[in-house]
Amino acid sequence: MSDQLDETHAQVGLAALAANPMLVVFDGVVPNPTPDPPYLLAYTRVEWPRDGIGTAINGTQVTITTTYTLHCVGLTAAAARAVQMQARSSLLNLRPVIAGRNCSPIKQVDAQDPNRDETTGRLVMDAVSIYDFVSVG
């Protein structure tokens, strides 16, 4: 039986993004047919890093790092940046609440310029932003 801790960490940021009425959020996959932009495609990674800040004295791993890689998609560069701004307003400095865990505020790790993306058969602009937080239990 799983403790669901990884999924709980993933969902805390996804829920904060989905709660923003200005964002259309997809978790890991964009539906087919591809909807019209703007939208946000989120990839979430949950890691239990070795020798994390919360490694227990007995050597067990108790630190979790959760990373959200957000593809902010718009028809123009300005529209992609607007999606980035909405994502930032949803995540930056939010301190997740997870039972039994002490969570850091979510911080921005990286942001990239909007890039042309024609893989869907039409031009869209994709601006990537990366956020993460650490929890210790």
For the chain, what are the domain ranges?
5-136
Q: What is the pTM of this model?
A: 0.92
**The dihedral sign for the CA sequence 13, 19, 25, 31:** positive
- CB burial of 26-48 (b: ≥16 within 10 Å; e: otherwise) equals beeeeeeeeeebbbbbbebeebe
pLDDT tens digits along 90-134: 999 999 999 999 999 999 999 999 999 888 788 999 999 999 999
Which CATH number fits the domain 5-136, given the four candidates 3.30.360.10, 1.10.167.10, 2.120.10.30, 3.30.2000.30?
3.30.2000.30
Opening angle at CA 107, ends 11 and 24, nearest 5: 45
pLDDT tens digits along 36-63: 999 999 999 999 887 656 566 676 778 8
